[in-house]
A and B are shown apart, each in its own frame.
Chain A
Amino acid sequence: MKNNEILSIKNLRKIYHTETSETVAVDDFSFSLSNGEFIAIVGPSGCGKSTILSILANLENKSSGSIKIKENYKLGYMLQSDSLFEWRNILDNCLLGLEINKNLSKENINYVLGLLKTYGLKDFINSHPSNLSGGMRQRVSLIRTLATKPDILLLDEPFSALDYQTRLAVSDDVYRIIKKEKKSVIMVTHDLAEAISMADKVIVLSKRPCSIKKIIPIKIENKSTPIENRKSKEFSKYYEEIWKEIDLNV
């Protein structure tokens, strides 16, 4: 691995087997992530984008290829649905990962309390998930992932469950949190605008079996928050470029 690289994937391949057939979901997929980088992966729906994250998060086994992660670097996975446990209050939901890894030290609990406070959830520590709005729930879900202090965040369509306006606001929110906590990110999304407005680099995938079609670095002058980035003059240029690359099979 090169100096600044913290994660590198080489020739990743994933085949799903069923009794009647086998399907190649991911074929010859290689890329690397540098420290502090935000990579978005976009592609036609059903192309196997999420499979890549599932393999990285150890939820599924790869068929072949290699995945290297820099020593002592940890991964954190955030799903599309917030999956908060209704029988736990907000604080206990956030402590779930620490509890499972038996890391419930006073220091770690204080770290989580600090995150909840910084990101406007202080008054809801003892509430249950059903009392929170969709945007707040997504923030809690992010804090739950941050609680185990991962260095690389894997975001799997993190905002698709939200309505459009909440989605803009929450992606702004989450982006600010991620930058402040200095995390590196791999985000899978089907929303091109979301990818361009948040990422440093957009990887465009082909139809199934998915492989890399193009890697487009996003360079926006005066880069700031996602909502501001959407207003920049480069935005529509990138949108068009990526739109042309995506194979639509409607």
Chain B
Amino acid sequence: MCSNEHISYLKKIRFNKILIKLIQISIFIIFLIVWQLLADFKVINTFVSSSPKEVFKTIIELHKTNNLYNHIFITLYETVLSFLIGTLIGIFLATILWWNKFIAKVVDPYLTILNSLPKVALGPIIIIWVGAKMNSIILMALFISTIITIMNVYQGFIETDINKIKLMKSFNAKPYQMFFKLVLPSSFPNIISALKINLSMSLVGLLPPVGEKIFFNKCYSRY
């Protein structure tokens, strides 16, 4: 049974949802149109910022030469790989810091410094060290995602409810039981949010070395 008020209430909610979606899509379309117009009237330099038409043409071209899916695959592969490795290493190191508060105190300033360092700027150095290969790209992405994972996950670990820790202690829980039965599961929300940040961070990590790589390849191909 629904009263008329309830029906109009539901209608209002539905209308709101549709409106939000519509506006979201129109913003995207308007953005593309403005971009194209600016390019057509030569307000912006298409050599630097391209235009939607050019992007679309390139996609078609890549599709025809069968290169598109290869590129997408490589990007996805690198992202997922560095995301997985970065997350695992990050959680592992955060666990060590939780386990030993002394180590945590010692490395605290270094973590802060590493985190504030513009890691993307290290791209060229990593390429010189590791070479312009996929390894360097993954290393770059790892570098970016691991540190932020350590900080987020560790924060979750040390915010575990003090009363629950007391409870575990009253049952004489050993440190490994404390970790696996309480600290790890209760930090799940933190870990999930770390994963979300990580995924985008891994992608950021990929981009500059990719640019460098293309640049390098071009340089080498001249010889």
A50 CB to nearest B CB, Å: 10
Q: Which residue of the partner chain B has the closest CB to A144?
A: B167
Find residues 165-207 in chain B having any chain A CB closer than 8 Å to their own CB: 166-173, 177, 181-182, 185-186, 188
CA distance A17 to B132 in the complex (A): 57
Interface string of A72-89 (1 = CB under 8 A from B): 000011011101010100
Interface residue count for A (Cβ, 8 Å)?
18
- The answer, among A76, A83, A101, A148, for a CB contact under 8 Å with B164, is A83
Judge if A58 is at the interface, Cβ distance under 8 Å.
yes
**Total inter-chain residue pairs, C-beta < 8 Å:** 45
CA distance A189 to B181 in the complex (A): 30
Judge if B161 is at the interface, Cβ distance under 8 Å.
yes
A100→B163 contact, CB < 8 A: no
When distances are taken between beta carbons in the complex, the residues of chain B under 8 Å from A148 are 171
CA distance A80 to B161 in the complex (A): 13
Q: Is the interface of B mostly helix, strand, loop or mixed?
A: helix
A83→B167 contact, CB < 8 A: yes
CA distance A124 to B188 in the complex (A): 24
Query: Which among B161, B168, B171, B186 has the highest number of chain A CB atoms within 10 Å?
Result: B171
B167→A100 contact, CB < 8 A: no
When distances are taken between beta carbons in the complex, the residues of chain B under 8 Å from A83 are 161, 163-164, 166-167
When distances are taken between beta carbons in the complex, the residues of chain A under 8 Å from B173 are 100
A96→B169 contact, CB < 8 A: no
CA distance A96 to B101 in the complex (A): 26
A85→B163 contact, CB < 8 A: no
A-B contact pairs, 15 of them (CB 8 A): A54-B166, A57-B170, A59-B166, A59-B170, A77-B166, A77-B170, A80-B163, A81-B163, A85-B185, A87-B185, A87-B188, A100-B168, A100-B172, A100-B181, A148-B171
